[in-house]
Chain A
Amino acid sequence: MIKTMMLTRHISTRNIVATLLLISAMLVGWIADAVTNPAAAIVFNIGNGSPAEIYIQVGRRNSISRVRFRVANDDVGSGNPVSGNRRIDIQLLIRAPAASPLTGFLTVDSSTPLNNGSGATIPVSEISWTASSGDIPSDSFAGTSNQQLASFNSSVRVTDRHTFSYKNRNIYDAGTYNGQVTYTWFAP
């Protein structure tokens, strides 16, 4: 889902909360200051943040989300895909002044294979995903360090939900294979 943002008219909830907290902090400081210096003046300076911003969130906000694929005993290497245990929401934001627009690029590094701690590995390219909205399109991890997934022009907020799947095309040593991919959202 893509929401176009009007930079000069839109104030996000985060900005409102931050502004209120800033005002509160200044008020507290003013009260403390007033005890000793009742003649001090107060100056409010409310800004609209930096002129440009990018933001990315993958899964949960406060920790690294994990998607697990559990292959059944009688299905190892059968070619029947195995769905992940949870879907992952991906949020992107890029905003910039209309006079100085930016383009954001989303890439993913999946170059490090999953490993079972005993020397056996599974390439991350054995994992694919289906996108619910398609803004960040369905695809497979390429197993490379710089796979481009999407690009968007400012100012926009993008949300998509990915359902991951293990292709299950080969037989691998038994074990629990762990790995990690890193999404990078950048505006050059």
Chain B
Amino acid sequence: MNIYIKQTVTAVFLCMSSCLLYGVQAETGSVTGGPDGNMTSSARLKLRVIIPRFLQFQVGSPGTSVDTISFQPAADTVGNGVAVSGTGGDASSGSGASVVLRSNAGQITIVADNDGGSGGLGSSGSISLSEITALSDSSDLQTPQLSDSGATTTTATPTGGEVTDRRATWSYSYNNSRAVEPGSYDAEIVYTAVSP
């Protein structure tokens, strides 16, 4: 019995001393050997990246400013059916709105609504928004056509998986299909990007 106890105690102490000497834990590695033998040891490191859901949508100038696209037919061309291109906006081409859509929240739908007035341009809605044609230079980020009732939509083409990273320039023209009373006709279009 005494011999058994001696061997056990000795083994425990030898184990303790060995562990302290070589530190063979998950994070560390220690190897000993002859000078001519290969020695290899390794240690691991975990990495974690946390990406949140997000949706970034910009039409026109960044920030809170609202760009204005203007259509001004010449006096002798009012209502002649020849479209009038818009001017203004932040697009590098000189007219139109630069659009940025970035998201990782799945298929994005873009909704266009009017300003919530009586519909159309002008306080009385005397020019229908259907007189405005919108055009995108990217098939992956189409612009909704405008209507007096609003709620027209398009869907952006995802870049891959749940990710959408698209840019486009939306330009506008006035159809000029009928004569109207002189004056300024205004409307504000609200574009909304919606994720699932």
Contacts and interface: CB of A to CB of B under 8 A. Distances in A.
Interface of A: 14-15, 17-19, 21-22, 24-26, 28-29, 32-33, 35-36, 49-74, 76-77, 88, 96-97, 100, 102, 114, 116, 119-120, 122, 124, 126-127, 164, 166, 171-188
Contact of B33 (A52, A74, A176): A52
Contact of B45 (A72, A180, A185): A180
B124 interface: no
B14 interface: yes
B32 to A, nearest CB: 4
B17 A22 contact: yes
Given A55-B28, A120-B161, A184 B41 contact: yes
Majority secondary structure of chain B interface residues (helix, strand, loop or mixed): mixed
A134 B52 CA distance: 33
B26 A180 contact: no
A25 B41 contact: no
5 contacts: A24-B13, A55-B23, A59-B43, A62-B25, A164-B47
A18 B39 contact: no
A65 B35 contact: no
Contacts of B32: 49-50, 52-53
Given A49-B21, A68-B48, A74-B56, 12 more contacts: A18-B20, A28-B10, A52-B35, A53-B30, A61-B25, A61-B28, A65-B45, A178-B48, A180-B46, A182-B44, A184-B41, A184-B42
Given A35-B2, A68-B48, A52 B39 contact: yes
Interface residues of B, number: 56
Contacts of B26: 62-64
A102 B165 CA distance: 52
Contacts, number: 235
Contacts of A74: 54, 56
Given A24-B13, A35-B2, A55 B29 contact: yes
Contacts of A116: 51
Nearest to A50: B32
B26 to A, nearest CB: 5
A56 B29 CA distance: 5
A107 to B, nearest CB: 9
Nearest to A71: B51
B48 A67 contact: yes
Interface of B: 2-3, 5-7, 9-10, 12-14, 16-18, 20-21, 23, 25-54, 56, 102-105, 159, 161-163, 165
B48 A66 contact: yes
B10 A173 contact: no
Given A18-B17, A29-B6, A57-B28, A186 B52 contact: no
A32 B7 CA distance: 9
A55 B43 CA distance: 10
A109 to B, nearest CB: 9
B4 to A, nearest CB: 9
A60 B102 CA distance: 39
A184 B40 CA distance: 7
Given A18-B17, A28-B6, A72-B52, A179 B33 contact: no
Nearest to A102: B35
A101 B195 CA distance: 63
Contacts of A120: 161-162
A67 B165 CA distance: 28
B41 A173 contact: no
